Structure 1
C-alpha cells in the first residue's frame, strides 16, 4: 500500500528506531514485488532508457538468493495478485507518473529517472519458480498476508514498503540489507555466516513515544493517507490539529507525521476516532467511519489462508484481542456522536468544498473507496494455478474486472502505445478466461502523450476453447491454436522443429512482430545475436559487460578456429559446437555494444526513441505470447528473459546495422574471429528467411517510402534555391542538385 513520508521519517531517525541485526539461520518472508524492484534498481546496473538489461537483472537475482543460501536463510516469497477495484484511483495516478517518467527518460536523464521494464516481475517470479523456492501469489494486495505469514513463522520481513512500520512484525527495510556475506570471528565458538542489516520493531518505535498504544498505529496510517484512504478526506481534522516543529528543513508531511504521533500519545483508538468524526457533519460520518474501519482492519488481521501453501508448522503468536479494533465499540461511538452538537462546527476553507452526494459521500471518495471483495468468483483450478505463481497477475484483472492494465514503457509518445500490437493475443486470452463473446476487454494505458485512457480491445473472432476445455486438448492442438491466434501458417512448425525448444516462443514472437510492424532486418539480426550471446556465449566465457574488464582478462587472445568442421545443416548441432575460443572471439567483437555510448550521454537528441519503441513492441509481443502459452499449459517451452534480451545491446547493434547496406557482409567482418558463431547465426537467418516471406516485402516498402520522401524533400529544396538566369539547372536526387551547363 504505502504511507507517504513515513519511510523518510523513520530513516531520518534510524538511530532511534532501527537496530543492528545479524540475519542467519532463519526463515525470511520476502515481499516479492518490492524486492524485485529494489534488486533491479540498485543491483542490476541496467540502462533503463533502452528497455531493460535482463541479463544483468538475472545475475542480481541469482546473487541475492545465493547470499541467503550461504547464510542458511530459508526464503518465503509473497507476490501481489490482481488490482483491487477500490485502488483504481491510485493505479491510474501511478500509471500517469510512470508514463511521464518514461517520456522524460533518455541517456542524459538516466541517473535521475527510473522506469522498470515490462518483464521485471516475470523474471523474478521465473527464477523463484525454477529454483523451487517457497512462494505464493495472493489474490490481490499482499501486504497484510505478508505480515501475517511473517508473524506466524516468527521471522522478519524483507521489503521496502512503509506499511510494514505499522504491522506488528519484525521488518528489514531493503536499503538496510547488505548484499554481502560476513563471517563471525569469535574464538572457541563455532563461526557462522550472516548478513549485516538493520531491523525495525514496533515495540522499539513505541518506546520513543511514551503513551502511544500499539493499537493506535493503524490510525496513524489511515490519517496520513495510503493507497485506499486519501489524506484529503481528513482536511477538516487537520485544520484543528496542532502542528509540531521538526529539526532541519523538514517537509509539511514530516511535520504532520510528528504531530499525529504526539497527538496519539494521549489518545486511545476509540477516543481518536471520536475526535476525528466529530469534525464532520452527521451526513458524512457514517461513510467516513466505514472507510476507516475497512482500512484499519487490514492492519489488524492475524490469519492468512496462504500459509496452507507452505509446508511449515507456524509458530503462532499470542492473538491478544487488544490488537484488534472492536467494531461494535466504533459503532457505539458513531451512535453517541450522532446527536452531538460538535458536528455543526465543521466548515470548509476557501477552495476546499466538495460536491456532496445524496448519500453523504463525495465523488472523490466514491472513486477512492469503491468496494472490493476479498473473495473471487473464478474456477478453483484457476485459483490454484494463480496462487502457485503459474499465472500472471493480469489474469485476475481480466477475469474479475474485465480490464487489462498496461505497464508503461519507453516509447515514442507520438505513436500508439506498444501494447496495441498485442491486442489480438489479449483478446484471445480474455475470451478463453471469461468465455465471453460479447463483452470486450478494456485496456487501461497511455492515450496521447502523457494521459491515461481506456480502449476497447476488439472481440476475438476465431474459435477458442473455454477455460475448462483447455485440459482436454492435446499438445499439438494447443500449438496449432497459438498459431491460429497469431495468424501464423502451420508450416512454421517445420521451422520450429529445427531449433531447440527454448527458442520456440522467441521465434514465434519474431514472426508475429514482423507481421504487425514494418521492422527491418537490422533489429532481427540484433535480437538473434542477443539470444546467442546470453544463452550460449556467456556460458562458455563468463559474464562480462565491461569492455575494459574483458579486454584485460583476454588481452592475449588470438583466434585459431578452423571453418572446415562447421559444415552441418543442423542448427542445434551448430549451436552446441560453439567453442570457448569461438565465444571469446565473438564477445571481443561485440562487448562494446553492452555499454552506453558516450555520445548519447552528452546529447539526448542522438537518442533514437523510435528504435526503443520498436524494442518495446517486441517485448509486448513476447510477453503476451508467453501469457497465451502459459494459459494453454505450456505447449511450447517457457523462456527466461536473462537468457534472451539485453536491450542496450540490441539498441546499439541495431543502430549500427541501420547504417549498413549489406548486413551479411558486415556480420562476416564483425564475427571474423568467431566462425562457429557466424555459421550458427547464418543458419538461423537463412532458415527464418525461408519461412518468413512477409519481411522482404515490408523491407522493400520501407526503402521505397524513404526514397520517395527523400526525393520529395530534395525537390522542394531545389525549387527554393535561386539561380542566375544564364544557368541551366538539372535536378539530380543523388547529388541534391547540379549546375550542368550555361544556357
Structure 2
C-alpha cells in the first residue's frame, strides 16, 4: 500500500509547511506562524494579551469576519459574540442557570440585599485602568448574580416562533453556523499543530440560542455599546472587563465597528420605499376619485341632486 505524504510547500511570509510526519518536530514559533497566517492574525493584534481560553476563539472571529460580505454583515452579530463570551464567567462564579424561575427563586432575596447594601455604601462602580487578564481575574461574584438574569432570559427560545414561524431568521442562523464551522476547523488545525494556542472548550463560549436571541435584541438598538453599558451598570467588574476587551479587539474589526455604520439603514430604505409606494397608492386613489366627480350621482337626501342627471 502506498502512503500519501504532505510534502513541504511555501506559504505566506516564506514559512514552510513540513511533511505531515515531521509536523510535530518543528518549533512552536513556526507552528504558531502557520496558524496565525491561516487565520490572518498579525503582530499588531492583541491575541497574546487575552485570557488563554479566548486566544484562538478571537482569532477565529477575525477570520470569520474577514470572510463576510461587507454589505450584508452587521456589527450586532459581532457584539453578540463578544458579550456571549461572558456567560461562562458568570457560570463559573454562581453555577449554571438556564431557568429564570429557578434562578429567581434562589437569588431573588439575595439580589435585593446586594442592591440595598451597595446603595447604603454608595458603591463606586468607576472603571479603573488595568490589563485584561487582571480584569478577568477580578470578576466579582455579586456582579455575576446581578448580570445573570439578562443572560438567562436570552437562553430561552422565543415562544412567538411556535405560533409565527415566519419571524424565524434563517440568515441569522446561517451566519453563526458559518462562525461555528470556522471554529471547528481552526480547532482541528490547532490540534494538528500540537496546540500553539490553548484548546477551546467550545461549550464555554458558544451557544447558538444565546447568540440568536442577542443578535435579535441588538439589531433593534441604535447604540449597542450604550445599551450594554446600561445592562451591565450594576455589574461593574463585568463591564470593566468588557470595556478593556473592546479596546483591545476593536482595531481588528474597525471596518465593521465604525460608529457611522447604521445597521438600520437598509430597513430605512425599505421603509422609505414602502412609504413612497403608499404615497403613490394614496395619490392614485385620490385622482381616481377626482376622475369620478363628473359622473352622475343621486343623493336621496337632496332633492335637487336629480338635476345632475337631466
- Identify whether the pair has TM-score above 0.5, normalized to the shorter chain: yes
CA distance in 1 between partners of 2:262 and 2:34 (Å): 31
The answer to whether residue 106 in structure 2 is matched with residue 553 in structure 1 is: yes
Match among 234, 252, 270 for residue 691 of structure 1: 252
Contact 1:496–1:504 (CA under 8 A) maintained in structure 2? yes
Match among 78, 81, 96 for residue 524 of structure 1: 78
- Report the structure, 1 or 2, having the larger helix content: 2
CA distance in 1 between partners of 2:275 and 2:199 (Å): 50
Match of 2:199 in 1: 638
Match of 1:537 in 2: 90
Structure with max Cα Rg = 1
Match of 1:611 in 2: 172
**1:199-219, CA deviations, whole angstroms, 9 ceiling, x for partnerless residues?**
xxxxxxxxxxxxxxxxxxxxx
Once the two structures are superposed, the pairs formed by residues 23-34 of structure 1 within 5 Å of their partners are none
CA distance in 1 between partners of 2:27 and 2:262 (Å): 40
- Report the structure, 1 or 2, having the larger strand content: 1
TM norm structure 2: 0.78
The answer to whether residue 61 in structure 2 is matched with residue 507 in structure 1 is: no
In 2 relative to 1, CA 674–613 (structure 1 residues): closer, same or farther, beyond 3 Å? same
Give the CA deviation at 1:486. Answer: 2.5
Give the CA deviation at 1:708. Answer: 4.6
Match of 1:474 in 2: 27
Number of equivalences: 272
CA distance in 1 between partners of 2:40 and 2:169 (Å): 30
3-state DSSP of counterpart to 1:555: helix
The answer to whether residue 207 in structure 2 is matched with residue 654 in structure 1 is: no
Match of 1:563 in 2: 125
Give the CA deviation at 1:672. Answer: 2.3
CA distance in 2 between partners of 1:670 and 1:496 (Å): 27
Give the CA deviation at 1:555. Answer: 1.0
CA distance in 2 between partners of 1:473 and 1:695 (Å): 36
Once the two structures are superposed, the pairs formed by residues 46-57 of structure 1 within 5 Å of their partners are none
- Which consecutive residues of structure 2, in runs of 5 or more, have no partner in the other structure? 289-310
Once the two structures are superposed, the pairs formed by residues 25-424 of structure 1 within 5 Å of their partners are 378=3
Which structure is higher in RCO with an 8 Å CA cutoff and minimum separation 6? 2
CA distance in 2 between partners of 1:377 and 1:647 (Å): 43
Give the CA deviation at 1:692. Answer: 2.5
Give the CA deviation at 1:723. Answer: 4.9
Match of 1:724 in 2: 286
Give the CA deviation at 1:487. Answer: 3.1
Contact 1:480–1:490 (CA under 8 A) maintained in structure 2? no
Match of 2:300 in 1: none
Contact 2:190–2:196 (CA under 8 A) maintained in structure 1? yes
Match of 1:595 in 2: 156
CA distance in 2 between partners of 1:483 and 1:548 (Å): 44
RMSD (CA atoms): 2.8
Match of 1:583 in 2: 144
In 2 relative to 1, CA 703–490 (structure 1 residues): closer, same or farther, beyond 3 Å? farther
3-state DSSP of counterpart to 2:154: helix
CA distance in 2 between partners of 1:641 and 1:568 (Å): 29
**1:102-140, CA deviations, whole angstroms, 9 ceiling, x for partnerless residues?**
xxxxxxxxxxxxxxxxxxxxxxxxxxxxxxxxxxxxxxx
Contact 2:6–2:18 (CA under 8 A) maintained in structure 1? no
TM norm structure 1: 0.34
CA distance in 1 between partners of 2:260 and 2:63 (Å): 15
